[in-house]
Amino acid sequence: MTQRVLITAGAGGIGLAIAKAFVANGARVHIADVNAEAVQQITQSNPGITGSVGDISKAADLDTLFNDVQAQLGGLDVLVNNAGIAGATAPVADYPMDTWNAVVGINLTGTFMVTQRAIPLLKASGAGSILVMSSLAGRFGYANRVAYSTTKWGLVGFTKTLSLELGPLGITANSIHPGAVDGPRIQSVFEGRAKVSGRTVQEETDLALANQSVKQFINPADIAALAVFLAGPHARTISGQMFPIDGDSKAAS
């Protein structure tokens, strides 16, 4: 059976890596993303990927998305809830209320809305899977990132509840918890930290890895391979679980 896969925030980063991995495994993939230019570029250059542009926290955009999913895929076997925003960097006492609402609106409410609409399609699959992208910050507290950490923890409870409700229907639900992902984004973070601290970029990198047993950042392709496995035939009895992929990190930082 050719898997039919929907990935939110699938036009870049981890989402795109997951999309490409599913296509390489023979699946048909539909991505949703707010970046119209990226969606166009990805769908034009990857024949196995179709796409919709929209915001998962807006009901009208979800109407369009699921009409497109039905038209392009004819059903759904795998939902990858990957969309999320980081929000502000500030202590709880100073955290902006509008930013809190925005992070909760995408990371929790948006994920809930997408999943709620996907469940009827997944029920019809017979072998449905839901993957929820949490974070290292969904296992530890994260100073100055309260909205991000709170929502990423909330997604664990969401996933556990999905597993309980949907398991009897043959649908699995698991959360994935990446640590710092290798690439230009993390490098720019270290460059910014170095300018503030006076340390070198390498020193900032070493400090970031100090909490990890495995001294390397996460390859998006490894996260994608885990996603494909968890949605595959050998993971049909794996559900309600948290899967850290973070070099055995001891804290979020």
Q: Which residue has the tokens 């049909």?
A: 236
Within the chain, residue ranges assigned H as helices are 13-24, 36-45, 59-73, 97-104, 111-125, 146-166, 184-197, 201-209, 220-230
Tokens of 194: 């170095």
Q: Which of 8, 126, 141, 153 is nearest to 66 (CA)?
A: 8
* C-beta of residue 132 within 8 angstroms of C-beta of residue 155: yes
Residue (of 235, 221, 222, 223) closest to 77 by Cα position: 235
Candidates 140, 148, 217, 243; catalytic one: 148
Whether residue 148 lies in the annotated active site:
yes
Active centre residues (catalytic): 148
